[in-house]
Structure 1
């Protein structure tokens, strides 16, 4: 059963303690850690581990779902992105050799930078090194790796035994959350690879901005046409186009981007009309007049669907829509985080005094846990 991060205020307003609760709001691990993972979508790994740090401690630790310490990071080692050990007991670490030497640190503005030797490992939970590389993403025992975190470094894919599956020749690699496929980009061209490293499509697709390129979700991949007039939806198994979608508005600086599939539907934004939802084949999720898609006005800022709920914002308060387009949860919150595992983290009530405390609600809007002062 998934656990969710909770906070408890302390005498130091800016340093609340973090603990964990279950889906019913029962506190399973009392607040006792620094706030390190509250904003992560996935707090515990599938193996039941998370990385935390106690107040005053120099090194982070790995704990299990019972709150027991199973690993303490060695001196001068830090977790990469606070990613927890996976089912193979592997996680990424950075080792700043001789980090205790003050002469190896440089102050640049408000930030200190380490100038000494830095090494990157895939470490096992017993403290041994699986292989030496920088791990940026992990999924099902496969790891996106490079020499360093620099954006210019080429990336590849490695398995949990340290075998290179995809050589580090790509500018960007993204792992699907739902399917055993890898999205790769090289020199402005994108394709889908299997976990064996074989290309799915016989040709690559030219793209403008790899950052907004969707990954495969539920067996589907969305790619913009070369003229950016619309996006094609591909069934990855057959490589056939099953539908076409309009491009979506992102911001004045990025006016046209590829729409993304979330919760089985796609949200389309228009700077003037507002937003609407479509199925991958282009059918409207919420039909309006004469069967045409229902548009939500621009002032009603809507989000993507997760667990059958999409956030919407009216003025300073937020609520959640269902797939019929109705307000399943009335606007009453100061934040609109997406649902995950049946719960959403919100600031409640929206009375101007809740900006420093959190609540969790279920899909019906019931508060299952509330942070007290």
Structure 2
């Protein structure tokens, strides 16, 4: 192959990527909508023709409307009504897809015990629809409720006795967005304030949208009370919009934005370094001066003091271990948000939720305080985390 042939081949290969992406998207949508459609309206159930036609029409109209709604809601137009509708459809079709798959496994069991069609297919269809409806209703209530408080004790070997019992409250992934949750935000912060925190941390993904669009929902963050510090770092969703705007706004609300920097909190003669780094997507976001920089975050810190690090994604733990961090607090995963999505999250992140040890460094990953996209939480409850630090 000549050099000229190579130059011509590269653009040709690049031109196939959009086509491959489009085909992948079409395949995913075909599965998400097709499996429930087949399970609920299959001819083996021998539903009356008008009922089967009506069911098919609902799936067809929804399938056509869904990408349009997502484009209007999450594209450049940013129409909140479209985002709300599209996100809800996504959540409902995911629930139907999962339980349709499980229903078809049950179909095999019914066949094994001698249940024949059309009764078998009708049982699977009705069961899938009933379970999905119950889980959708329950999941919506779980998403909209004030998060429960999850209490965790963490022993740090280097923590001095003067800081034994330090109360750290973690909130994260509030995702103020197309659904106006200003009331929920106020009630959640009231719950935070009941916990009598020494330090309150927010580990990013405050909102989906600009400060101007989500100001009212974020306003209760200004009412958070903490004896020693209120600290914040950016998440990946800030880098889909205006990360610096949220850093500035949180400073205006009285928080300490830990943009690759640290502060020291002290009590009874003992000190704790509270540091923060930008999200791992910051470097590729195009935001000038933004990237995860652990060295900058800990520059000048007393090496004898324990370090509490705020980093949005659990997968930032390797850099935390290398930097000698004692405890990293993260969010991002939402605990999977909608079962069984946590299995896919686990492919990308080392931890989905809870406290884990990585050598000397410990990592706590919250299931998130809010939700993203579909307004459902299924087998992955939201949380406000109260971490009590204990001296080793």
Q: What is the TM-score of this pair, normalised by structure 1?
A: 0.29
Between structures 1 and 2, the one with greater strand share:
1
Between structures 1 and 2, the one with greater helix share:
2
Q: What is the TM-score of this pair, normalised by structure 2?
A: 0.28
